[in-house]
Structure 1
Amino acid sequence: MDVLLQGGAGANALDGNGASALHLAATHGVHAGVIISGLLRHGADPRTRCRDGRCVLHYLAKFTGPPDVAKQLRNLGLDPNARDEHGQTPLLQATVAGLVKMVRLLCDSGVGVNTPIFDDDKTAFFCAVRLKTVDAVQVLLQYGADLHHHGHSGYHEAAYKAMSNGSADAARINKLLIACGANVNAKHGCCRQGHGMSVLDAGGITRAQEEFALFLMANGALSFRYNEESMLILVSCALE
């Protein structure tokens, strides 16, 4: 690469999608650091954006780039809150990819943990809960993630998943959120199950959901909309 650059190849040349050599280097995982360092030595501009608005930090976060390289780029002045044309940030990319070290680095860089990412106001924390990435949820909570952001509550999302499919990770996230102060009786501002419902209000309790329902009730869930079968299941479980 050094030979090519010394021979006149442009360090800031763009491909057909508007991606620079730095963007492409960021897709090379563990080898990204060496390539990016070489390009920077030859004058590559780290602030270059693709046509869709993504910067090099977006690529590093999406393609498992080394956190130390992201730190190097951050120190060169890259904005950790940079948004692409869809409003997505490097923090969202790292969260979706489950790159906990990158999530922590970006949080250390001062990213807006509770900054809405999409037009519907959801945050990176909500996405971490939806994807059941427990470690990312823990890191975001450490940096002040809002448990009940504008009705798109990470707590509600995790609770609905635990209720619907018995996911162990979703249940673990629920316990973590409740330990951090999530209100088990909070009403979801806009959920597909109905307006203004708590988790247990959303419908009948099945045998597969009984343990989690009792867990919520033990942590202060006050009441819920039930049918006769739901009540019999809960009573049966409580007596076992």
Structure 2
Amino acid sequence: MPQAVWKPIPINFTAGGQVEVRGVVLHIMAGTLPGSDAWFRNPKAQASSHFGTGRGGQLVQWVDTKDKAWTQGTGNRSWISIENEGKGGDELTIHQLERCAQILAWAHAEHGVPLQVTSDPDGRGLGHHAMGGKAWGGHSMCPGSRIILQKPEIVRRARIIAGQESGPVPWPGRLLRYQTGVPLMYGQDVRTWQAALTAAKFPVKIDGYFGSKTRTATRAFQRDERLVDDGIVGPVTWRAGVQK
């Protein structure tokens, strides 16, 4: 997946073992992103995941989706896994919600995963670890009830990224802020901001990718509006450009 930092692990997965891709499964690490990275490289772990998110928006990929990660028992051969930094009882941060939505939208485009919620291990869409029951390791508290309740929000965001649904930006300004300047940040919110820049006489390509040219135009817009020209699309900048 191009949005992820590729950090392949040499052990603890099955090459070519992914029989099909039915959907994406949410997990909670009960730990940190660096800790999980180290554990997946340990021969004693006998565990891995395709993707991992950090609470601040980091996204890594450990295992190719054509290969079988070792994370959810019998579900390993047909589901993509996401380990999310945190502990039981946590909610996903807005940054993690966005990253999970990006993975789901990518899985839809790459593997035909439907953009829908599922709680059925024989279903398709966005699932969670506990839904697999004993066959998936019996992890009844993974990822926890609060994250399970966030699944519809992730699906809605993925549908917006995929262009299947329109609507208000879920987190205006805040979503852009944490990744400003990262070339691979993308989505409908970025297109909305690029359209606003273009209408304000700071034309950029409206492609949904927040790269260096969009940041330069953002800083020029901020100077014109007598705002702090930091290239960060926070709430004040967003209101000045989009909500005039």
Q: Which has the higher helix share?
A: 1
After TM superposition, the score normalised by the length of structure 1 is 0.31
Quick check: which has more Rg, 1 or 2? Answer: 1
